[in-house]
Homo-oligomer: A and B are copies of this chain.
Amino acid sequence: MADQRPLGVRIEDVARAVGVSRATATRALRGQGRIAAATRERVERAAAELGYVPNLMATELAAGGTGVIGLMLRDAANPVYGALFSALELAAARAGVELVTVTIGADPGGERQVQALRRLLGMRVAGLLVATGGVDSAQLEPFAAEVPIVRVGRPEPSAAIAAESYDEEWHGALLASRVRELGHRRVVVLGASAETSYGEHRRGEALVAALGGVAVQRLTTGPDPGDGVGAALTEAAAGATAVLCTSDVRQLAVLRALAARGTGAASTGWDGLTPGVDLLGLTTVRVPVEDAAEAAVSRLAGVLDGEAEALPAHRAWRGELLTGRTLSEVER
C-alpha cells in the first residue's frame, strides 16, 4: 500500500522504518558499496511500502551531476522535428540514457530559447542535444568546454561544437539531377531567407549550385509555408516548369494553391517525412533523421562513458531521393 503522501516520504523515513542509518538505506537502494543482503531486502521492502520516490534534486546535487541528457527541440508539430524527436528518443533508449526535453515553439525574441538553455544547463545535464536553430553558436560556445554539446539535424557553423546533420549538398544534387533528367530547363526555387531558417536557406543554396544549366529564379520568403507561393506560381505561369521547395510543407502549400487554381506545374519538396508522402506522390528527399539521431546520441554516450573521441566534429548524413508524380517530365 502506498502512503497517503508518497512524495513527502524521505529516505530518512525509510531508514527509520527499518532501523538503519540514512547512509545504509542509500547504499541498499542504490546497490552500491558492501551491504548485507538481508538489510538490502528490508530496506527495499520498506521503500516500496512507503512509496518512496527519491528526490532527484537532492540526489543529483549530492552526487554532483545528472546522468541525463538534455534535448532542446523545436516545435514538434512539424513532422520533421517530430520524426527527429522520435528518432532521438529511440536512440537514447537503445543507448540506455535518459532524455529530458525542453521545447521552444515560435519565439521571435529568442527569449524562451535562452530560458530553455539555462534550464537544461541549470539541471547540470551530462550532455546537450540541440535540435533547433533558435539558439546559435555564440550562445552555445561558452558551455562547450563544460558539457558535451551536439547539434543534430542542422548545420553548425562553429567548429567548437559537434554536429550530426544532413548532407544537403548531396541532397540538392540528387534533386537537381532528377529535375534536369526530366527536362526542366527553367525553374523557381522557393525557400526561406537565411534569417528565417538557416537550414532552408542552405538547402536553397545547394539546390541552386547543383542546377547548372537550368535557369533559376530564386524566391526567398518568410517562415509561413504559404509565403511566396503566389509569386512562385506567377513565375510558373510565365514559363518556369517546376517549383522546387526547400521543405515538404512548402511543397504542400504549392500543391494546395495549384489545386485551388486548377493549374498544373511540377514541384519538389525536401524532408520526406510527411506520413502520406507516398500517397501524395511527392518528389522529395528523404532526410536521414534516424542516422543523424543515432550518431548524435552515440557520440554523446561515448563521451559520457569517457571514451576518447576520434570523430570529426561535423558529420553529414545522406538520405535518398523519393520520386513521385509531383515532378513529371516536361512536355515539349
Contact = CB atoms under 8 A, between A and B. Distances in A.
Interface of A: 2, 4-8, 51, 53-61, 68, 75-79, 81-83, 85-87, 89-90, 93, 98-105, 112, 115, 118-119, 121-124, 142-143, 145-147, 248-249, 252, 255-256, 259, 274-276, 278-280
A144 to B, nearest CB: 10
B103 A146 contact: no
A35 B146 CA distance: 33
B105 A103 contact: no
A5 B144 CA distance: 9
A121 B89 CA distance: 20
B146 A8 contact: yes
Given A142-B2, A145-B5, A100 B102 contact: yes
Contacts of A276: 252, 255, 274, 276, 280
A75 to B, nearest CB: 5
Nearest to A123: B56
Given A122-B59, A252-B279, A7 B101 contact: no
B79 A143 contact: no
10 contacts: A5-B145, A7-B121, A7-B143, A56-B122, A59-B122, A77-B83, A98-B115, A98-B119, A252-B275, A275-B275
B100 A57 contact: no
Contact of A99 (B56, B103, B118): B103
Contacts of A123: 56-57
Residue in A5, A56, A60, A274 with the greatest tally of chain B CB atoms within 10 Å: A56
A56 B60 CA distance: 10
A114 to B, nearest CB: 11
Contact of A100 (B93, B101, B142): B101
A186 B101 CA distance: 46
A82 B78 CA distance: 8
